Structure 1
Amino acid sequence: MQRLQAFKYELMPNGEQQRQMRRFAGSCRFVFNQALALQKERYERDEKKLGYAGLCKQLTAWRNSLEAGWLAEAPVHPLQQALKDLEAAYTNFFEKRADFPCFKRKGQSDSFRYPDPKQIKLDQANGRIFLPKLGWLRYCNSREALGELRNVTVSLNGGRWFVSIQTRREVEIPVPRGGAVGIDLGIARFATLSDGAFYEPLNSFKRHEAALRKAQQALSRKQKFSSNWMRAKARVQRIHARIGNARRDYLHKTSTAISQNHALVFVEDLQVRNLSRSAAGTAEQPGRNVRAKSGLNKSILDQGWFEFRRQLDYKLAWAGGHLVAVPPQNTSRTCPCCGHVSAENRRTQAEFRCVDCGFEENADVVGAINVLRRGEAVLSNQGQDDARLACEVSGAVRPPAAGTHRGESALSG
């Protein structure tokens, strides 16, 4: 089977190369915004949307014009890739997979992509890569890029430049290891498994919140667009990059550990956007407990549940496993012994005590067990015999003994 995989490295460009990369990223942003504005104008005039071929003709006209002739200094393939990205954004919007495309802003997600592998040379032995109109660039060769090179994306994050090399290679069909497990996601415990193990939350934003607040306050006192303002803004960006890097590193470690030890993983189909919705309300109907809900929303978004699920999905596929999302309703209110459902079963955030049969356990463990059972029921109803067999073999469907099932943190120490 074929595997597409990206390998990301930090670039070490000189001053001239940094200036060129900023120009190229700005050129791609300009082309994207111009094409989007053109499509909106055609829509307002009840004209048909231009396809990729029509946009390429417009790009040629822009490159040959006096107003935007500076576009000719940038490589043409990244500019064409920006048009392809716009076309993909329109397709995702019409198929209801994403919102309507919006204009790109300078300083946010500055990047450009070389889609043609014939124009790229990769010298992994010496830790350098050749890119059109940039020449040879050195990079931090932290690991080997496996497979045939397909495309290269250059991006700016936190004042540092990175290169993402996508490759394609043939791999053997993997054999999954381990059994089935249910996962309950939370805030006090980031992830609790149905076997009792759990992962402590990292709370990356909370750890850097004080430093970020101080840096943002210093930025607000500076004259906008002055040299001091630029330095203060760069400091805020570095803190945000540090928060994101720490969160992604933790999510990668956690998702890798779970995907390597389980063949079938059930997770709650959480709608993070709804869970983190503001409670402020309107002037006519103001909300209640707005400050408490704001703090809860901040903690929810700090966990990175959606990214964790995305990483679990492709890593399990690489390992031959499967990820199944199940409805999250009443998973932490249902007794795994007698099946009684009541809000009174969950006394506190961590304590679960069934009011019908007296079963006691950690509420997150109960939620994970119910997620596992509900997932098995979903697969059984769908007639997936192979997945159901994996559940039966795992032996993880029996509830723990009352008051005795206490898991240890999987990342403790």
Structure 2
Amino acid sequence: MKADMGRRYRLYPNRAQEQVLTRWGHAARTLWNIALEQRTYVFEQRGSTLRSQEQSRYLTAARGESELAWLAELPAQAGQQVLRHLDQAYDNFFNPALPSRFPAFKKRGTRLSVPLPGQAVKVRKTSGHWGQIRLPNLGWVSFRLSRTLGGTIRNATVSRDGTGWHIAFGIHTGRTPGAPNSKPGCGVDFGVATSAYVSTETEPRVMAPTLTKVELTRLKYLEQQKGRQVAYAKKHNGGMYSTRLRATIAQIARIKARQSNRRADFTHKLTTGLAKNHGFVGIEDLRVTSMTSSARGTADRPGRNIRQKAGLNRGILDNCPGERRRQLSYKCEIYGSDLRPVPPFHTSQTCAKCGRADPESRPGCGRSFTCVNCGHEDDADHNASVEIEARARGTGGSVTNSTRRRPTAPSPVS
């Protein structure tokens, strides 16, 4: 049985347990780096490939060495799970259907994680909204049971970010794809100034600022303080981070984790509503990696408007179109709707009423759209969403015949 659903809860270890989990997190990160270095070396020197089954034997031998006490403290199940995750990272890289990069080394930071197989943990409910998980070699740890598990635990991951510790479960629920809901379809235009504009709505969905003015000011101050402390550490401490510098880094991580949580909350609410209330959801088939590539260029041919492009990249990534598509892909299956990616070519320049594509219809890439062919006026993002919906139905696309018409009102999916 494979995990088909995820659950994430806030974990509340005591002080002693937190210290153990921190050591485990650093041990798991170091084990990943050593295993990756070993695989790279063996392939370069011998042309052969190591897998987790063979490296697990080396891991068992290394755990008996007195010089590697930190590795022996890490539960054996966690070490084996790290090696399996490395196998999966290699498989994803060599899979042409997945846009995955070569496995990378993990840096030391506030993001720690300890993976465990499902059979290594046990969960019990202690009260209405509280539960406990038994971790190997550590005992019972309390967590906030904000929702039921709803299935069989297949794996678990203990992690720490800027806001604290969390426990994530991979759950096998045995769910099946939902029956078609026969609701009207829609097209959605994801943007920067407008987070999302749905073709069946008259107002855009706008994500509230993920950080308040006070938090932005605080973050700027902490980033400047971090820069001064890092410069001092390099000049006087041989690059060793002081306690104050680590405290500054932790404060920055806490603010950014809060920002990430707010962004994720908006994204989940948006994608759940789209998948639940529509028969199909049309979106642009975007290549986010290419869209957010740097404009620096090379030393011989430097780029232009680098700072402006960097700001645009931050705006695109802040709205996380790739994550929205990932969530829609499985939520549409759950709620009986259909996700339909369409070619993004000229969606912002094509008239949703007559189908004529002309850059003059949107002068200066502003927020208004006025068709030079038929005179149709609309918000540029709403016009694009209607065009996306038409392409998702199979009736859209740029045309040169100004007499072509198609209905703008959505019709139920048959």
Shift of residue 366, structure 1, vs aligned partner = 1.2
TM-score w.r.t. the length of structure 1 is: 0.87
Corresponding residue to 1:204 among 201, 204, 210: 210
Distance 2:267 2:156 in 1: 24
CA contact (8 A) 2:77 2:120 kept: no
User: By how many angstroms is 1:180 displaced?
Assistant: 0.9
- State the match for 2:16 in structure 1: 16
Residue type at the aligned position of 2:217:
A
Distance in 1, matches of 2:126 and 2:288, equals 40
Partner Cα separation in structure 1 for residue 353 and residue 141 of structure 2 = 61
The answer to whether residue 118 in structure 2 is matched with residue 112 in structure 1 is no
- Contact 1:148-1:167 at 8 Å conserved across structures: yes
Paired amino acid for 2:207? P
Matched, 1:181 2:186: yes
Find the partner of 1:132 among 105, 130, 136.
136
| Match of residue 385 from structure 1 | none
Choose from 178, 191, 195 the match for 2:196: 191
Residue-by-residue CA offset, 1:270-296 (whole Å, 9 max, x unaligned)? 111222222222332222222222221
CA contact (8 A) 1:351 1:363 kept: yes
Alpha-carbon shift at residue 2 of structure 1 (Å): 9.2
Moved more, 48-57 or 236-245: 48-57
CA distance 1:66–1:3, change in 2 (3 Å): closer
Establish whether residue 336 from structure 1 lines up as the match of residue 349 from structure 2: no
Report Cα offsets for 1:31-67 as digits up to 9, x if no partner.
Answer: 2111111111111213311122111111112112233
CA deviation profile, 1:112-135 (whole Å, cap 9, x unmatched) = 122032642333545211111111
Amino acid at match of 2:144: C
Give the alignment's Cα RMSD to 1 decimal. Answer: 2.2
State how 1:68-83 maps to structure 2 within 5 Å.
Answer: 68-83=68-83
Counting only pairs closer than 5 Å after superposition, residues 31-42 of structure 1 correspond to structure 2 as 31-42=31-42
Gapped runs of 5+ residues in structure 1? 380-396, 401-413
Looking at structure 2, the residues matched to 288 and 205 of structure 1 have their Cα atoms a distance apart, in angstroms, of 29
Q: 1:173 to 1:41 in 2, by over 3 A?
A: closer
Paired with 1:227 and 1:2, the residues of 2 have a C-alpha distance of 43
Give distance in 2, aligned partners of 1:66 and 1:90. 31
Residue type matched to 1:398 in 2?
P
Contact 2:282 2:392 in 1 (8 A): yes
Give yes or no for the alignment of 1:101 onto 2:103.
yes
Q: Could you tell me which amino acid in structure 2 is paired with residue 43 of structure 1?
A: F
Sort the Cα spacing of 1:170 and 1:47 in 2 relative to 1 into closer, same or farther, 3 A: closer
Cα 1:55/1:17, change in 2 over 3 Å = same
* Partner SS, residue 28 of structure 1: helix
Which residue number corresponds to residue 398 of structure 1?
Answer: 407
When residues 71 and 176 of structure 1 are mapped into structure 2, their CA distance, relative to the original with a 3 A threshold, is: same
Is 2:279–2:338's contact at 8 Å kept on the other side of the alignment? yes
Question: Is 1:215 aligned to 2:222, yes or no?
Answer: yes
Which stretch shows the higher mean deviation, 170-179 or 271-280?
170-179
Structure 1 residues 9-18 or 208-217, which shifts more?
Answer: 208-217
Aligned to 1:45: 45
Name the SS of the counterpart of 2:173 in structure 1. Answer: strand
Cα distance in 2 for partners of 1:124, 1:176 equals 39
Cα distance in 1, alignment partners of residues 124 and 228 from structure 2: 45
Identity of aligned residues (%): 34
**Structure 2 match to 1:361:** 378
**Pick aligned residue for 2:297 from 270, 273, 281:** 281
* Alignment-derived partner of residue 154 in structure 2: 150
| DSSP 3-state at the match of 2:299 | coil
CA contact (8 A) 1:7 1:164 kept: yes
The answer (yes or no) to whether the contact 2:121–2:133 under 8 Å persists in 1 is: no
Aligned-pair CA distance for 1:206: 8.2
Stretches of structure 2 lacking an aligned partner (at least 5 in a row): 234-240, 397-405, 410-414
Moved beyond 3 Å, runs of 4+: 170-173, 205-210
Partner amino acid, structure 1, of 2:77? H
The worse-fitting range, judged by mean Cα deviation, of 199-208 and 133-142 is 199-208
Q: Does 1:297 align with 2:328?
A: no
CA distance in 1, matches of 2:335, 2:140: 36
Name the CA shift for 1:206/1:358 in 2 (closer, same or farther; >3 Å).
farther
